[in-house]
Amino acid sequence: MTISSGQSVCIDTISHEGLLEDQGRDPRSFFAAAGIAERQVLDDVVDLAASGIAHDPAEVGPHVVTGPIAIRGARAGDVLEVEVLELLQRAPYGVISNRHGRGALPGELPARPAGWLDGDPVPPVCLIAHADGDMGFLPVGDGRTIRFPLNPFLGIMGVAPNVSTPVHSVPPGRHGGNLDVNLIGVGARLFLPVQVDEGLFYAGDPHFAQGDGEVALTAFEAPLRATLRLTVHSDARARRLAAALTAPWAETNDLHIVVGLDEDLNAAMRDATRNALAFLAESCSLPAPVALAYLSAAADFEVSQVVDRVKGIHCCVRKSDLDGL
């Protein structure tokens, strides 16, 4: 699709859960085994699973992404603003997965089944969660149920990197992609440094909810109908801020959100701190010693996720703190 700056797009996103090869690539059977009626399995999920599209998760990643969407006039060095206007549930259920070798406790969970040999691959644990209104429900398995609030967002929103090789869907980067920052829901705005002309935006990895860290490997993965407004900023200030930061940034009604990314969590923390300093210097002309003191006294640095190869830290700065600056 090609659109003009300021136009909106509506994307029916698909979760990869129930589609993956180690789940049988047969969503009807996968969800039927969990008690989900066939009529509740989305047609586009069934069609994609039955298609002849080759898919090797190790080569390209597990996610289903939609794109590219070209934005007329976008040029490398510009900034693409993605405003999340609406996120609607497309199904009343989803999946939370834990796979051996991944997550925050690789080699520990999922546990090796009794009698399993050391060389045997440990099967993933895929739990079905349910949604009712703005609440999620996760059965414990003994008649009890855990209830928690939903917070829908898209884990993946990005632009095409300036590379000639295929881009894996899992690790996030300066182009955005699989950022998994759970604050970027309805009403939030994500700012992506444009890497190639026309931006070539893409989106996917829908969540009904995710805790900071996403420690199992996935969170509440479930399909969303997303309405997004895409606006190109080519003014000097936007281009200067994009050049000063090593990662995308975002905002909500109350917060500025600055991201740090690295395979090492300590390095991601340093990256987030440097980016926060650069953001405060560009937006408020704060000198580094004052900005660092402010961040230490008042900002929150939160772990976005630890499971996407490249780990994420996002720094939250209250907008009200900067009033008058």
pTM: 0.96
User: What is the chain's mean pLDDT, rounded?
Assistant: 96
Tell me the β-bridge partners of 262. 311
Confidence of residue 121 (pLDDT cuts 50, 70, 90): confident
Tell me the CATH number for domain 2-94+150-322: 2.60.120.580
Mention every residue, 6+ apart, whose C-beta is less than 8 A from residue 315.
257, 258, 259, 260, 272, 273, 275, 276, 295, 299, 300, 301, 302
- Please check the confidence at residue 73 and state whether its pLDDT lies above 80: yes
Least reliable range by pLDDT among 49-58, 78-87, 114-123, 176-185: 114-123
Which pLDDT belongs to residue 230?
98
- Please check the confidence at residue 241 and state whether its pLDDT lies above 80: yes
Which pLDDT belongs to residue 287?
98
CB 28 within 8 A of CB 38: yes
Average pLDDT over residues 278-298: 98
- Domain ranges for the chain: 2-94+150-322
Average pLDDT over residues 226-244: 97
Mention every residue, 6+ apart, whose C-beta is less than 8 A from residue 71.
2, 3, 4, 5, 80, 198, 199, 201, 230, 232
Q: Which two tokens stand for residue 86?
A: 């609406």
Least reliable range by pLDDT among 112-121, 194-203, 224-233: 112-121
Per-residue pLDDT of 154-199, as tens digits, reads 999 999 999 999 899 999 999 999 999 999 999 999 999 999 999 9
Confidence of residue 123 (pLDDT cuts 50, 70, 90): confident
- Please check the confidence at residue 101 and state whether its pLDDT lies above 90: no
Which pLDDT belongs to residue 118?
77
